[in-house]
A and B are shown apart, each in its own frame.
Chain A
Amino acid sequence: MASLRDIKSKITSTKKTSQITKAMEMVSAAKWNRGVMNAKAFVPYMEKIQEVVGSIAMGSSDASHPMLVSRPVKKTGYLVITSDRGLAGAYNSNVLRQVYQTIQSRHKSNDEFSIIAIGRVGRDFFANRGMNVVLEIAGIADQPAFAEIQDIASSAVGMYSDGTFDELYVYYSHYISAISQEVTEKKLLPLTDIDVPTKLTSYEFEPNAEEILDVLLPQYAESLVYGALLDSKASEHAARMTAMRNATDNAKELINSYSLKYNRARQAAITQEITEIVGGAAALE
């Protein structure tokens, strides 16, 4: 049986851990709030750009742009969004497991795909397995501004245009609610599954449809990447918050069971002492 002092020190260390996890939970809660707000602020932009892209791409079928047309796939790109830090429960491993399984089932050799990793955890995962990571970005702020993402997004779009890969999928954790997130796969490029808006508007183009698509489509693709990133940031903080709350709860439970053990051990020690004294007194008589 563990000594009194051992149990005591276990209780103290568990208490300290629970203080840390509690603090981390509150930090994540604040970040999660901001993250959800950012994701909401982005919605009007996304809706509008989707509407315009849909109207133009569907309205003028003769306007064919390289980004709209599927070409034979020699190489597939995967854009994987993970976090920089761990301690977020199954947040990262869920995304990585799905990407890994998909790649294993779709491709036979390492030359058939390349990976763009956002986030340190994902980068390390793929680097350790010797997979082809063409672009890696770590250290993205918790509340990313569009300007920070633009470089990443435009280089991802650029790699599609210059033929580094012929299609691009994005994998991220879609935010549903504080306790539920879902790994999502989205085909980013070519832009084949554009939602056709319900109210089609026929536009005048100034100067012409092709030139507008040249400006519009990269901007659209970039904003899809940004949207996925905001979504996954909200999920990350929600996942971390839940994980930390569970950790705090578990610590409380542990402390309770240790306290019980401690009290029992204390009681046992007292009983033993009394027995010894009584025994000693009896021996003297």
Chain B
Amino acid sequence: MGMTFSFLILAIMTLAGGVAAMTMRRLVHCALALVVSFAGLAALYLNLGAEFAGLAQLLVYVGAIAILIVFAILLTRGGEGEPEGSFSPSPAGIAGAVAALAVFAVLTWAVETSSVARAGAAVAAPQTTMREIGFALMQRYVLPLEVIALMLTAALIGAVILALREKRNEPADGTAQKQGLRA
């Protein structure tokens, strides 16, 4: 039995959060459950010795993405929940559930038959300092880092442009009429 007790607790917490997030009726509740799941994953990372990744997970997912999702829910007036049956046993929904189950079955099968997973013994946690991560980012992975930075900037701009209000669709205010006159 190689799994520690804490690992089990955290795994259960993560999975329970994920199941809750995907099954609850009210969107806000879903988002909160998602936070629990993300936080559980972050704790799992810490448990596995990846402190930096765990903290980044906590910061980005719990701190930013979850909040972003809550905002999106509020802005799309989804806070009231999905009135018409969100889980109506429609053919499409059943097909989706079956597909997901099949994927799980295949993945479990892959893990069971994998030699790597079976051989992987419990080794001592590698001692990773921030210093090493910093060096790795600045030397070996500096190019991906730059690319990521560029991509983040582009995504930022893209998100702003997408979320901008289209002025032309609002003839109510005067500017649109003025533009029309000028044209």
Partners in one complex: no
